[in-house]
């Protein structure tokens, strides 16, 4: 399962490797169309342009090709001999080729060092945000993370799915802020959620624990360190979704071409700000999860993405059409629409998609209205 998106590979980066060859081609075209034009500046640029883009061998090859072309056209224009200016130009190309080779080795060393650092960073980041299972009972799962920072794999968004004795429990959230403090908060929250998901029977207790954790997170002001999150569980028979929405974008339920926003009955403050609400107040919402239904959850990097005209992305239209009950297909459909809407994500983006197997009818015998969503609020 694909976990991370590093963004689109730059078209400019792909095209840059052709610059030395294009310079050589330009020299040939100019010499054929306008023999009187001085093309030595372009030839001298070939090895210099090649140095940061290609290997050492190709850097020497580019310099040798430039030197050969320069010699050929100088000999041709000089009537079978080389003048002093032509010799100086040829020597200049040779010297620049040696300089380019030296620079190429420096660039190669730096690339190797950065590659090693990135591999270490990836190992740390993968440990912070582990792979979610592709299947949990009769639920299938897909997730994707795209960092707003091109050189990072994760930032302040988080998600996790765990199969527990109390049902399938999952979380998706967005930590306020960026950088290493946000990553540290993600790591702490996910570890605490995993422990609570397995050992605490009441989902409300997990929410209270995460809220207290963020209030007492070291080195931060309790009023500025918070996380918008959805903490939820699917019952053991997969028919009921129980959810606490702590100031997070409402999930979408996709079922038979219909998209329903699962809005909370009562708004709740983000995790870390629970001390500003009533003591022990953990509003919970219940929803029916019919066979074949898909729960789509995302962070505000999706809903706050803007196009060039400042229009925010609406995730409902791309999902409001016949789609197979397949979380990967639905995830790809959403992200493809998002990519078409904007090329520049201003915030980290995490998407978690969970689908109930269409063939799973356990626990549904007493429920009527196939495909309907029931909303039953309850306090803690």
Among the residue ranges 83-92, 186-195, 365-374, the one predicted with the least confidence is 365-374
Q: Is the pLDDT of residue 156 over 50?
A: yes
Q: Would the pLDDT of 295 be above 60?
A: yes
Q: What is the 3-state secondary structure (H, E, C) of 166-212?
A: CEEEEEEEEECCCHHHHHHHHHHHHHHHHHHHHHCCCHHHHHHHHHH
**Contacts for 34 with CB less than 8 Å, ≥ 6 apart:** none
pLDDT bracket for residue 231 (50, 70, 90): very high
pLDDT of residue 317: 93
d(CA 225, CA 184): 12
pLDDT at 180 over 70: no
The pLDDT value recorded for residue 278 is 64
Q: How far apart are CA 169 and CA 203, in angstroms?
A: 9
Q: What is the pLDDT of residues 312-353, one digit of tens each?
A: 999 999 999 889 999 999 999 999 999 898 876 666 788 999
Cα 218 to Cα 233: distance, rounded to the nearest angstrom = 29
Q: How far, in Å, CA of 126 to CA of 190, rounded?
A: 13
Query: So what's the pLDDT on residue 7?
Result: 45
Weakest-pLDDT range from 130-134, 187-191, 262-266, 291-295? 130-134
Better-scored residue on pLDDT, 34 or 369: 34
Please give the torsion angle defined by the CA atoms of residues 109, 183, 163 and 142, in that order, rounded to the nearest 10 degrees: -60
Q: What pLDDT, on a 0 to 100 scale, did the predictor assign at position 294?
A: 95
Q: Is the pTM of this model over 0.75?
A: no
In this prediction, residues 252-266 reach a mean pLDDT of 93
Per-residue pLDDT at 288 exceeds 60:
yes
pLDDT tens for 265-277 read: 988 899 888 777 6
Q: What is the pLDDT of residues 77-100, one digit of tens each?
A: 766 667 778 888 889 999 999 999
pLDDT number for residue 225: 74
Rounded Cα gap, residues 171 and 237, in angstroms: 19
Beta pairing, strands 252-255 & 167-175: unpaired
What would you report as the CA-atom Rg of the chain, rounded to the nearest whole angstrom?
29
Q: Binning pLDDT at 50, 70 and 90, where does residue 360 land?
A: confident
- Helix H or strand E segment including 365: none
Placement of tokens 């624990």 in the chain: 209
pLDDT band at 374, cuts 50/70/90?
Answer: very low
- The yes-or-no verdict on residue 380 having pLDDT over 60 is no
Taken in order of first residue, the domains within the chain and their CATH numbers are 4-123 (no CATH), 129-378 (3.60.40.10)
| 101-154 pLDDT, tens digit each | 999 999 999 988 888 877 776 666 666 667 788 888 789 999 988 776 555 555
Report the percentage of the chain scoring pLDDT > 70.
Answer: 80
Q: Are 285 and 245 in contact (CB under 8 A)?
A: yes
Closest CA to 128 of 171, 191, 173, 181: 191
Whole-number pLDDT of residue 329: 94
- Residue 9 CB-half CA count within 13 A: 4
Residues 214-229 have pLDDT tens digits of 888 765 555 567 899 9
Find the helix or strand (DSSP H, E) in which 146 lies: strand 139-146
Whether 365 shows a pLDDT value over 60: the answer reads no
Q: Bigger pLDDT: 76 or 179?
A: 76
pLDDT value of position 216: 81
CB atoms within 10 A of CB 214: 27
For the chain, the average pLDDT equals 83
Residue-wise pLDDT for 8-23, tens only, equals 445 566 678 888 989 9
Residue length of the chain: 380
18: alpha, beta or left, given left = phi > 0 and alpha = psi -120 to 50?
alpha
* C-alpha angle 100-8-147 in degrees, rounded to nearest 5: 105
């Amino acid at each position: 399962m694909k976990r991370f998106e590093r963004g689109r590979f730059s078209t400019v980066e792909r095209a840059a490797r052709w610059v030395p060859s294009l310079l050589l081609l330009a020299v040939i075209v100019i010499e054929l169309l306008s023999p009187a034009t001085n093309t030595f500046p372009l030839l001298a640029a070939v090895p210099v342009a090649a140095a940061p883009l290609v290997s050492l061998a190709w850097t020497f090859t580019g310099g040798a090709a430039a030197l050969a072309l320069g010699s050929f056209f100088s000999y041709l224009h000089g009537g079978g001999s080389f003048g002093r200016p032509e010799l100086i130009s040829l020597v200049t190309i040779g010297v620049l080729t040696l300089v380019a080779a030296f620079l190429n080795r420096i660039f190669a060393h730096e690339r190797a060092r950065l590659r090693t650092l990135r591999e270490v960073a990836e190992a740390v980041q993968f440990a912070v945000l582990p792979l979610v299972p592709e299947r949990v009972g009769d639920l299938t799962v897909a997730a994707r993370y795209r960092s707003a920072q091109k050189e990072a794999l994760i930032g302040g968004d988080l998600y996790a799915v765990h199969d527990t004795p109390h049902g399938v429990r999952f979380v998706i959230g967005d930590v306020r802020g960026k950088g290493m403090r946000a990553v540290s908060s993600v790591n702490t929250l996910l570890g605490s959620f995993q422990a609570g998901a397995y050992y605490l029977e009441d989902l409300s207790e997990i929410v209270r624990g995460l809220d207290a954790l963020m209030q007492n997170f070291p080195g931060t002001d309790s009023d500025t360190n918070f996380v918008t999150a959805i903490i939820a569980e699917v019952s053991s028979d997969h028919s009921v979704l129980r959810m606490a929405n702590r100031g997070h974008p409402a999930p979408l339920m996709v079922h038979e071409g219909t998209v329903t926003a699962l809005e909370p009955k009562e708004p709740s403050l983000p995790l870390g700000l629970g001390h500003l609400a009533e003591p022990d107040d953990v509003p919970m919402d219940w929803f029916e999860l019919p066979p074949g239904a898909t729960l789509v959850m995302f962070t505000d990097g999706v809903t706050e993405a803007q196009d060039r005209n400042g229009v925010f992305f609406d995730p409902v239209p791309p999902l409001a059409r016949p789609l197979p009950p397949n979380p990967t297909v639905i995830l790809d459909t959403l992200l493809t629409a998002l990519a078409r809407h904007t090329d520049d994500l201003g915030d980290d983006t995490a998407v978690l998609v969970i689908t109930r197997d269409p063939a799973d009818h356990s626990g549904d015998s007493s429920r009527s209205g196939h495909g309907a969503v029931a909303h039953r609020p309850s306090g803690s």
